[in-house]
Amino acid sequence: MTFAPNLIVALPVVLPLLVGALSLAFWQSHATQRFLGVAGSALLLLLSVQLLLDTWEQGHVVMEMGAWPAPFGIVLVSDMLAAIMVVLTGIIGLATAIYSLSGIGVRHERFGYYPLFHLLLAGVNGAFLTGDIFNLYVWFEVMLVASFALLILGGERAQMEGAIKYVTLNLLSSALFLTAIGLLYGLTGTLNMADLAVKLGQVEDPGMVTVIAMLFMVAFGIKAAAFPFFFWLPASYHTPKVAVSALFAGLLTKVGVYALFRVFTLIFNQEVGHTHEILLWVAMLTMLTGVLGAAAQFEFRRILSFHIVSQIGYMILGLALFTPLAIVGGVFYIMHHIIVKANLFLISGLTYQLKGSHELRELGGLYRSHPVLAVLFMVPALSLAGLPPLSGFFAKFIIIRAGIEVEAWLAVAVALIVGLLTLYSMVKIWNEVFWKAQPAGGAGPQAAHGSLVWMWIPIVALALMTVMIGLYGQPIFEMAEKSAGQLLDTSGYIEAVLGGATR
Amino acid sequence: MEIVMAFVIGGLYTAAIYMMLRRSIVKLVIGLVLLSNAANLLIFTAAGLTRGAPPLINLGDVLPPGPSADPLAQALILTAIVIGFGVLAFAVVLIHRAYEVVGADDMDKMKDTDT
């Protein structure tokens, strides 16, 4: 393959697009679409693991699209962070594809659930792998359009109301993102991220750079659901089918977080004190509002939605502290969070299937009838709260330790309190859903679309992964450490893209 | 010319934000249309307004003779227009469906999923 070196970087984007197109071709045959959903995402996971291995060996894997040399053409770049995120996308994609076998139903399949599912994965992977800021915008839009359609599949009133807020806020964020790109292009005359990193150092107008940095922070802050732009998330994430919620919860906001990590380590790293001070406050307030919002809720999925917000705060805290250890913590936190949060949503779907409600007051008695499910809930729930020896403990431990090292006492205190309040929310769910007796007049089991085994498999697999990350955290920590090293020392990235080191 | 464009863009952003703050969902979508147009014009202006100098290269040369307009900004705007068109088409259908389901075009009537 001399004409397309490092084709592996493009495959995680191209494959879901192809499989999605193929699913469209089999519009009538739902069985084929289901098969393509599982097989396509399994293949995607294999490819992404291969990409991670390649990236681990080479440091950066760069592909120039159409063989146009950087910075003139669009490059796809895989560094450790991007490769890790792509692997996580593969894991969540496969888990939700299997879960969808019994969790989605014919009505949604008829309106194109599977093609949209693949399109979403392609958009997410594209956003992770691109090395061009305008291309990042394009992938954001691909991802958004797919998510808009997935969000309203079914057409219930709550979905419409949630979707209007979701669509408006995300379009506003896209417009701000586009504005920032326009100003940045006017200032530097380039769109390649590595080239931008070089050119922005030579710009004579630091005021303009700060303005653009703030625009990026707001645009990605909306996408990541950071304070004070988070309110679209708890208004919409609990409205679609649970498989869709799990996919969104695992991946979408994390694309925003990834973009923040990428832009504020690679491009806007001149005035670190200024921007990262703001990020620190954003992180603390995001953690607090998210967890307090969750404490007031009595609906399974709404509690989980608010906890997405509070967990986003920890990741941004890792970025805001901006020490090597803090970045390691942030990356580790993203890895842990994607798996745990998607799993919790999947469990809420299974409890709905068994009891016919998402309201905590109408649920109960699941520990008596399904003790295994109760244990499976405990694993991600306690991991989310940060109890050892699960994955969340190490994620929180690294970030808090990094906070102590730079003596950011307030941030450390907030992180600890939020961990405690997370435990409160999780214990609340445990008490209401699993421990207390079944209240009279529940809706009872729902008619399942297929065998419930397909719902159990991803839940068990993801719970096992949570335990494994906790027990054998060393390789995960090393991956996070390597990605943090690459993020903080941008010369490797710039060299790989502009110097043609891996060509 | 840049000054005029700056005022036009500023006016568009202002009108867009104002429309988005209204309660009617139809006005909300009009606000989104204005916003995406404002962003496109901003890219157009920020990349520099060059008149009567197409970036055409003579046969055998590698650079256009003299200063020329920047074609990349135009490519960006074209892409953004197409994306914006698609997304706005979706938004229009969405508010139509929302109007049918909710029975009102008032944002204040759509607070069921808020907390």
**Shortest Cα distance, chain A CAs vs residue B33, angstroms:** 10
**Shortest Cα distance, chain B CAs vs residue A145, angstroms:** 7
By C-alpha distance, the chain A residue nearest B75 is A134
* Residues A502 and A62: beta-carbon distance below 8 Å: yes
Contact criterion met (CB < 8 Å) for A302 and B115 = yes
Parts of chain B with a pLDDT under 70: 115
Contact criterion met (CB < 8 Å) for A171 and B98 = no
A156 and B CB contact within 8 Å: yes
Contact criterion met (CB < 8 Å) for A182 and B111 = no
pLDDT for A4 equals: 58
Of A138, A145, A179, the CB nearest to B42: A179
Report chain B residues whose CB lies below 8 A from the CB of A239.
113
What tokens were used for A81? Answer: 């962070």
Report chain A residues whose CB lies below 8 A from the CB of B92.
none
Hey, what CATH topology would domain B2-51+71-109 get?
Helix Hairpins (1.10.287)
Contact criterion met (CB < 8 Å) for B39 and A182 = yes
A295 and B CB contact within 8 Å: no
Q: Which of A20, A166, A22, A171 is nearest to A93 (CA)?
A: A20
Sequence-distant (6+) residues with CB within 8 A of A452 are: A102, A350, A353
By C-alpha distance, the chain B residue nearest A178 is B39
pLDDT for A500 equals: 52
By C-alpha distance, the chain A residue nearest B95 is A164
By C-alpha distance, the chain B residue nearest A179 is B39
* Residues A469 and A336: beta-carbon distance below 8 Å: yes
**Shortest Cα distance, chain A CAs vs residue B61, angstroms:** 18
Of B83, B90, B101, the CB nearest to A138: B83
Report chain A residues whose CB lies below 8 A from the CB of B107.
164
pLDDT for A2 equals: 45
Chain A to chain B Cβ contacts (< 8 Å): 113
Report chain A residues whose CB lies below 8 A from the CB of B28.
164, 168
Per-residue pLDDT in tens (0 to 9) along chain A, 503 residues: 345 578 899 999 999 999 999 999 999 998 999 999 999 999 999 999 999 999 999 889 998 888 888 788 899 999 999 999 999 999 999 999 999 998 888 888 888 999 999 999 999 999 999 999 999 999 999 999 999 999 998 888 889 999 999 999 999 999 999 999 999 999 998 999 999 998 888 888 888 888 999 999 999 999 999 988 898 999 999 999 999 999 999 999 999 999 999 999 998 887 667 788 899 999 999 999 999 999 999 999 999 999 999 999 999 999 999 999 999 999 999 999 999 999 999 999 999 988 888 888 888 888 888 999 999 999 999 999 988 889 999 999 999 999 999 999 999 999 999 999 999 999 999 999 999 888 877 677 777 677 888 999 999 999 999 999 989 889 999 999 999 999 999 888 999 888 754 44
A167 and B CB contact within 8 Å: yes
DSSP β-ladder status, A75-78 and A61-64: antiparallel
How many Å apart are CA A124 and CA A253, to the nearest integer? 10
Residues 230-259 of A with CB under 8 A from B: 231, 234-236, 238-239
pLDDT for A502 equals: 42
A372 three-class SS:
helix
How many Å apart are CA A78 and CA A81, to the nearest integer? 8
Report chain A residues whose CB lies below 8 A from the CB of B25.
164
B30 and A CB contact within 8 Å: no
How many Å apart are CA A463 and CA A447, to the nearest integer? 25
**Shortest Cα distance, chain A CAs vs residue B9, angstroms:** 11
**Shortest Cα distance, chain A CAs vs residue B39, angstroms:** 5
* Residues A443 and A83: beta-carbon distance below 8 Å: no
Q: Which of A432, A351, A462 is nearest to A98 (CA)?
A: A462
How many Å apart are CA A152 and CA A149, to the nearest integer? 6
Residues 50-69 of B with CB under 8 A from A: none
A40 and B CB contact within 8 Å: no
Of B72, B102, B115, the CB nearest to A161: B102
Contact criterion met (CB < 8 Å) for B94 and A235 = no
Measured CA angle at A198 (ends A197, A201), to 5 deg: 90
Contact criterion met (CB < 8 Å) for B91 and A167 = yes
By C-alpha distance, the chain B residue nearest A239 is B113
By C-alpha distance, the chain A residue nearest B28 is A168
Of A152, A161, A189, the CB nearest to B110: A161
Helix orientation angle between B71-102 and B25-46, rounded to the nearest 10 degrees: 170
Of A152, A158, A168, the CB nearest to B112: A158
Q: What is the DSSP string of A143-199?
A: HHHHHHHHHHTT--HHHHHHHHHHHHHHHHHHHHHHHHHHHHHHHHS--BHHHHHHH
Whether ipTM exceeds 0.90: yes
Domain boundaries, chain B: 2-51+71-109
Cα–Cα distances (Å) from A492 to A62, A487, B40, in that order, read 12, 9, 34
The whole model's pTM is what? Answer: 0.94
How many Å apart are CA A61 and CA A51, to the nearest integer? 8
**Shortest Cα distance, chain B CAs vs residue A399, angstroms:** 30
